[in-house]
Structure 1
Amino acid sequence: MWRHIASNALTMLIVAIFLLGGLILWGQTEYSAEGPLEEQICLRVERGSNVNRVSKTLEDQGAITSGMLLRVGMDYADLTGDLKAGSYLVPAKSTMKDIADIITRGGASTCGTEIVYRIGVTQLSNLVRELDPATSTYIEKAKFDPAAEEAPAEYLDVRDRADTRFRIAVAEGVTSWQIVEGLKRISLLDGDVSEVPAEGSLAPQSYEVKKGDKREELLAEMAERQDSILAEAWENRVEGLPVNSPEEALILASLIEKETGVAEERRQVASVFVNRLRLGMKLQTDPAVIYGITLGQGVLGRGLRRSELRAATPYNTYVIDALTPTPIANPGRASIEAALDPDSTDYIFFVADGTGGHAFAVTLAEHNANVARWRQIEAERAAD
């Protein structure tokens, strides 16, 4: 009888082992299988949260089929203690294994709320926006000028949250002085700036930052990016340009940047300046004259006077018949590329056309007609 009992027990043990093996195999397969999520979501992991709470949230949002299986899988992979606070974009059909990696990998949040400090030509503005995971686009929640307005509740509510991302967006055409002054006013950053970087040497782009980042280090990153952009554009420049060095190309790019805000016009404006340089003509560009007055420290805020257009300064392109001695702003990639690969035209004149763009001309007669139309537009606007 004992032999019979032992035989049955052994059989049951073998069956149990097979069942356990099958369960483990099923669990491994399910853990790595495509998930049920139909559309990507933004998962927020609170500071001090745990895997139990996160797995329940994922279950409620339909991202996983079993919170218990996620917890077991993370425990088996020794990931339970690696949970990181933040907001994370979970793509549709993500596996539990993928999700476990997303919430334990660390690094910057990939969705949720973002505060953007924008350094513009005329002001510094703060923008609060939130990513809509369904469309992968940001929705503006608040925008204000910190120099003139009180910070709204939408900004104060998220400024100190652990999962809020921070970004500094530098507009094309700002001066190095404006960038430094803007960085000084962003309390998120730390450290002093010993000197204003050379004009034109900073890349006007978007930079992700975090609390405590050093201002000097951020300026160094901007300079490194601009060096890289300029080197690439110089390597790909067209033949026969009247610029003899990357430094001269940067000066020309800054003039193009300040003359037009219309992306499609940059290469046309570049062609006018290139044609004038080839002909030995004066560039006659107002932004350069303005820079000679302000030296990039703020906005002139008024029209140019006749005396200023006649004054003999290194930046008065109505007097000098060459490029200015330095850039007059920090040009973006598009203007640098336009300076080194302009359109092939015969244009040597342009004037505003009333739409935000310019009217281009080959002859002085054509240009005078364009100027007359612009004066009429100005008069009509003044009357209105």
Structure 2
Amino acid sequence: MTHNPETTKLPKKQKRMLGFIAFTSIVTILGAVILGAYAVVNYRYEAAPKGEVNETVFVVPRGSGLSSIASRLEEDGLIKSAFIFKLVTKLRGNEGSFKAGEFVISQPASMSKIYETLAEGKAVLYPFTAPEGLTSAQIMRLMGSVQTLTGDMPETPAEGTMLPETYMTPRGMARAALVKQMQDAQRQVIDELWETRQEGLPLKSKNEALILASIVEKETGVGAERDVVAGVFINRLKIGMRLQTDPTIIYGISKGEPLYNKKGQRRTLYRSEIDRKTPWNTYQIDGLPPTPICNPGEEAIAAVLQPAKTDYLFFVADGTGGHVFAKTNREHVNNVNKWRKIERSRQRKQRAGQ
């Protein structure tokens, strides 16, 4: 018995249906394979390995990409597969989320946890302290010696434009960025305090406030005295009396660097230096010098803008690190004589101990 070929052909509609079913089956199988593979990959990405608990410091240099980070994580034994770390990070769209810095990774940790630490965690921060009263050049020398900072040294900023305090900096922070942060902080402080200043101050601008604050900063290291010292200088400015402050003479001679004698010992001012006229020597000029003589801190700026209301016009060291204040020149001369006796006594003891 023979078959007619015409009777064994499938209708076109049925062929299309069978083709569609075959294609769908292939797609479904491929999808299942892909989903299964992703599930395995995702499991390995999320699973925390077993092991001893410890902490490792991992540094992400500025400009590091995903590939270099993943490779170094694998080399350091922090992850088992750089490929899986890169793959999942890319699939989740997190490739550009890493931050530069130094991070503490607690182990054992999943790749997911490590990613969170590097992308969202807080970097290890190092303190950079600029003490009150340093010149801009002195602050820049300090900054240049800090190994955790990077980049070329920027140009030395104008005197008085950086706020002295402790800044927490991540490893790899650019020195130029830190300078900008310090300048922004100083602008913010002077802007805020200027709005709260006392009425009737003989200060025409924020810059003049910074100049006087720098003098107050150099004149006393005792915080409780700042507003009284500021009050003395404010009183002098109001009556047109010269400020007559030694730190301004020193700034005119050495830009604030310590003075030394021929033996390399720290020294006080010579009479000739007091008599020498420079733009900063307030024994020789009226009013304020043209620039700050250091970088004043927030407390000194606040003291100048909210000075103590006092009748004092004079002060001199009291031998304990502070000052004794006077309203009249006669009182002041007596205080100066007492201070000179203290100095002579100290010098005799030093000679006796040599």
Q: So what's the TM-score if we normalise by structure 1?
A: 0.60
The yes-or-no answer on 1:106 pairing with 2:71 is: no
Counterpart contact for 1:288–1:315, Cα < 8 Å: yes
What is the deviation of 1:108? 2.7
Aligned mates of 1:226, 1:368 — CA distance in 2: 38
1:364 to 329, 332, 336: 329
State how 1:118-133 maps to structure 2 within 5 Å. Answer: none
Aligned to 2:190: 230
Q: Aligned AA for 1:106? A: G
What is the identity, as a one-letter code, of the residue corresponding to 2:242? K
1:271-306 CA distance string (max 9 Å, x none): 00000000100100000100001113x322321111
Report the counterpart of residue 321 of structure 1 in structure 2.
286
Higher strand share: 1
Relative to structure 1, the CA distance from residue 345 to residue 314 in structure 2 (aligned partners, 3 Å threshold; closer, same or farther) is: same
- Deviation of 1:167 after TM superposition, in Å, equals 1.2
Q: Describe the shift of the 1:83–1:336 C-alpha distance in structure 2 as closer, same or farther (beyond 3 A).
A: same
Which secondary structure does the structure 1 equivalent of 2:128 belong to?
A: strand
Q: CA RMSD in A?
A: 2.1
Counterpart AA for 1:368: V
1:49 to partner: Cα distance = 6.1
1:283 and 1:44 map into 2 onto residues whose CA distance is 61
- Alignment of 1:292 onto 2:252: yes
Hey, which of these two has a bigger chunk of helix by percent?
2
1:83 counterpart = 2:113:
yes
Post-superposition offset of 1:379: 1.0
One-letter amino acid of the counterpart of residue 107, structure 1? K
CA distance in 2, matches of 1:262, 1:199: 22
Letter of the 2:344 counterpart:
A
1:374 pairs with 2:334: no
Counterpart residue number, 1:24: none
Aligned partner of 2:226 in structure 1 is: 266
Q: CA deviation at 1:212?
A: 1.9
Q: Which deviations, in whole Å up to 9, do the C-alpha atoms of 1:227-283 show, x marking residues without a partner?
A: 000001101101000000000000000000000000000000000000000010010
For structure 1, the residue ranges without an aligned partner over 5 or more in a row are 1-42, 51-78, 86-100, 110-164
Report the count of equivalent residues. Answer: 243
Partner Cα distance (2:137, 2:296) in 1:
14
Question: Which residue of the partner structure matches residue 167 of structure 1?
Answer: 127
Aligned residues of 1:83 and 1:104 also touching (Cα < 8 A): no
Given residue 299 of structure 1, which amino acid in structure 2 is its aligned partner? P
Letter paired with 2:278: T
Matched, 1:205 2:165: yes
Pair 1:303 & 2:268 matched: yes
Q: 1:81 to 1:255 in 2, by over 3 A?
A: same
CA distance in structure 2 between the partners assigned to 1:220 and 1:367 by the alignment: 43
Q: Structure 1, residues 88-128: CA drift from partner, whole Å, max 9, x if none?
A: xxxxxxxxxxxxx999951134xxxxxxxxxxxxxxxxxxx
Q: Does 1:45 align with 2:43?
A: no
Q: CA deviation at 1:189?
A: 1.6
Relative contact order higher in (CA < 8 Å, ≥ 6 apart)? 2
Q: Which residue of the other structure, out of 186, 189, 192, is the alignment partner of 2:146?
A: 186
C-alpha deviation, 1:350, in angstroms: 0.1
Letter in 2 for 1:315: W
**Contact 1:84/1:106 (<8 A) preserved:** no
Find the partner of 1:340 among 305, 308, 319: 305
Instruction: Give the Cα separation in 2 of the matches to 1:307 and 1:211.
Output: 48
Classify 1:340/1:45 alpha carbon distance in 2 versus 1 (closer, same or farther; 3 Å): same
Following superposition, the deviation at residue 368 of structure 1 comes to 0.8
Q: What is the CA deviation profile of residues 321-377 of structure 1, one whole-angstrom value per residue up to 9, with x for unaligned ones?
A: 110100000000000000000000000000000110000000111111111110111
Matched to 2:328, the amino acid is T
- Structure 1 CA distance for aligned equivalents of residues 285 and 112 of structure 2: 64
CA contact (8 A) 1:84 1:105 kept: no
Say if 2:222 and 2:322, in contact at 8 Å, map to a contact too. Answer: yes
Percentage of pairs with the same residue: 48
Aligned twin of 2:36? none
Q: Structure 2: 5+ residue runs without aligned partners? A: 1-52, 58-76, 80-108, 260-265, 350-354
CA–CA separation in structure 2 for the residues paired with 1:262 and 1:222: 23
- DSSP 3-state at the match of 1:208: strand
Matched AA of 1:261: G
Structure 1 SS opposite 2:167: strand
Q: Quick check: 1:289–1:315 contact (8 Å CA) kept in 2? A: yes
Structure 2 length-normalised TM = 0.65
Range 191-200 or range 334-343, more displaced: 191-200
